[in-house]
Structure 1
Amino acid sequence: MHQLPETALLRSFVTVAQELSFRRAADRLALDQSALSRRIQKLEAELGYPLFERTTREVALTPAGQDFYRSVSRILLDCSRSIDEARRVALGHTGRIRVGYMAFAATDLMPRTVARFRDRYPGITLELRFMRTQMQKIAIANDEIDVGFLIGPYDNRDCHSLTLALDPLHVVTPQRHRLLHQPTVQPADIANEPLILGNMAEWGEYRFRLEDQFGRLGISLEPALEASTTLALIGLVASGLGITVYPESLIGFLGRNVEARPIIHPDLHSRTVLVWKRSNRARAVLNFIETARNRGPA
């Protein structure tokens, strides 16, 4: 198999084949005519057959030259397209980003970031995957997703972490609950009520953060009931079976059958972070992170 000739020789050949004139081809290539002739001669020597029939009056392609021209034109066109496509990838204008998100990011943070990003980079394909926080950590480590919206904080030497939201916690109660009549709700008030929390299988990370924060205040969270979904959780609260604790940013999505009040304490909050691998330097991913960092109207 012959080695592929230099690209400069191929482009010179294509230009001469299109012009069928060494003078006009040399002008297009900004070359001296003798230099162009040497290029064609070198190419013919490498191939082992003539590409042009030359006379004092005209230049014509040989049958082999005609076939070679058709093939080389396709090769150069494909090469040019590949260069342009790679340039778009390098600039972050095309490609794919796999985005993981958990329930607390599903209603606002993730959709708003995606809306802004799609507006700025319409050529990027986004794959959105609902995953619990712990599963996202595993998926990022295994390169199964590029970025993840998860419950933080998250400290891992292989990953970057960007805090997107620090939501105060609210107590969610049935309508006309006694806590609604208090001037404020304090952390200790939670300990005196039957508590309904998400179960550990589906809500493990959030439960861990809640128990840690309340535990630092000397308050033990012992649920009277557990549920696996938000709908079940809020349904149990609305039925008067107890209260629950939710991040502020989600209060507006709980419906009209429950009420919410802030729990007054500076150390009680839910943190949402964006996480990605330090080794992931794809421009499209970095653009997504920058879009999430600079939050604003979609």
Structure 2
Amino acid sequence: MLVLPDVSLLQSFVTVAQELNFRRSAERLALDQSALSRRIQKLESQLGYALLERTTREVLLTQAGQTFYAAALGLLDTYTQSINESRRIAQGHTGHVRVGYMAFAATELMPQAVARFERLHPAISLSLRYMRTQGQKLAIANDEIDVGFMIGPYDNSECHSVLLSSEVLYVVTPRAHPLLRKSQIEPKDLMDENLILGDMAEWGEFRYRLNDLFNREGVALSPRLEASNTLALIGLVSAGLGITVYPESLIGFLGNNVETRPIIHSDFRSRTVLVWKRNNRSRSVLNFVEIAKKRGVGG
């Protein structure tokens, strides 16, 4: 089995190949000439062939030595670059962070965190994936994303979770809807309304949270219509087919064909959490977490 030479032997040979003089090479390496000669002899012994032709007057590279010099030089170059790049990654100066986000984080929390992160860490690349909350949980477990903006709370012994926002829930109605005549809207006021909600495939986590909140108030959620995306939901509401419920972060993006009012109840809030694996110690990921947390409720 071939014994691979260590780096010190390669560095010694490359220096001699460049200088073609043992005295000058020894000075560059801060060695005495006898120690340098032993290194070259050890390298040649490990390789099984001569690299240098030495006489009392000159030092020359053998044909094998010329080929080995080019290879060793490239190898040391790559080795040095790898050390420097790994150091930059360890210090959080370069790297890659994979971010998952759901609709409620898409308008402010995620974009603002990304903007601050790119300003402070321009050498670190980001990839962003729109994913429903349940998909993010699986993606983090399978190491497909590093951090996720998801509907909370989320309790998992393998993950950290920090609350980023706690938003008031709003009822979204067609213009001039009778509910708008009330001085304030409470959960029980939605009991007999035609509800239009996101379908379970895409909005499952939000639907579970809504069902729990309304059930506690004795209101059963039985949607008249379901849709998979925000545009369709708002289109159905603006057409007068019913009402829906949205968190505050989306209210400013709904257009002029619908009206919104807050639901007056202390528990009726939507929470967004930032989640990442406890064993993910990447400095780039932790830097992103720290920046995103600054907009958090507790940050």
Does TM, normalized by the shorter one, top 0.5?
Answer: yes
Name 2:89's counterpart in structure 1: 89
Residue 233 (1) aligns with residue 220 (2): no
C-alpha separation in 2, matches of 1:76 and 1:59: 22
Amino acid at match of 1:274: L
C-alpha separation in 2, matches of 1:224 and 1:51: 84
TM-superposed CA distance for 1:192, in Å, is 4.5
Q: Deviations over 1:251-289 (max 9, x none)?
A: 001111111122222211001112222232222222222
Q: Deviations over 1:198-245 (max 9, x none)?
A: 222221111110111222233333323322221121112212222211
Partner SS for 1:154: coil
Query: What aligned pairs does 1:80-119 form with structure 2 within 5 A after superposition?
Result: 80-119=80-119
Residue 17 (1) aligns with residue 14 (2): no
Partner SS for 1:204: helix
TM-superposed CA distance for 1:105, in Å, is 1.7
Query: What aligned pairs does 1:16-55 form with structure 2 within 5 A after superposition?
Result: 16-55=16-55
Partner SS for 1:214: helix
Change (3 A) 1:175 1:25: same
Query: What aligned pairs does 1:225-264 form with structure 2 within 5 A after superposition?
Result: 225-264=225-264
Q: Deviations over 1:59-100 (max 9, x none)?
A: 332333222211211111121222223223323333333322
Bigger mean CA offset, 184-193 vs 144-153? 184-193
Q: Deviations over 1:47-67 (max 9, x none)?
A: 343333334443332333222
C-alpha separation in 2, matches of 1:92 and 1:64: 42
Name 1:144's counterpart in structure 2: 144
Partner SS for 1:223: coil
Query: What aligned pairs does 1:39-78 form with structure 2 within 5 A after superposition?
Result: 39-78=39-78
* Structure 1: segments with no counterpart, 5+ residues: none
Query: What aligned pairs does 1:113-262 form with structure 2 within 5 A after superposition?
Result: 113-262=113-262
- Among all aligned residue pairs of Structure 1 and Structure 2, give the percentage whose two residues are the same amino acid: 68
C-alpha separation in 1, matches of 2:292 and 2:34: 58
Displacement over 4 Å in runs of 4+: none
* Structure 2: segments with no counterpart, 5+ residues: none
C-alpha separation in 2, matches of 1:200 and 1:45: 70
C-alpha separation in 2, matches of 1:12 and 1:136: 52
Q: CA RMSD in A?
A: 2.2
Name 1:278's counterpart in structure 2: 278
Bigger mean CA offset, 251-260 vs 49-58? 49-58
C-alpha separation in 2, matches of 1:46 and 1:235: 76
TM-superposed CA distance for 1:197, in Å, is 1.6
C-alpha separation in 2, matches of 1:204 and 1:284: 31
C-alpha separation in 1, matches of 2:65 and 2:231: 72
Give TM-score, length-normalised by structure 1: 0.90
C-alpha separation in 2, matches of 1:197 and 1:228: 9
Name 2:287's counterpart in structure 1: 287
C-alpha separation in 2, matches of 1:137 and 1:49: 57
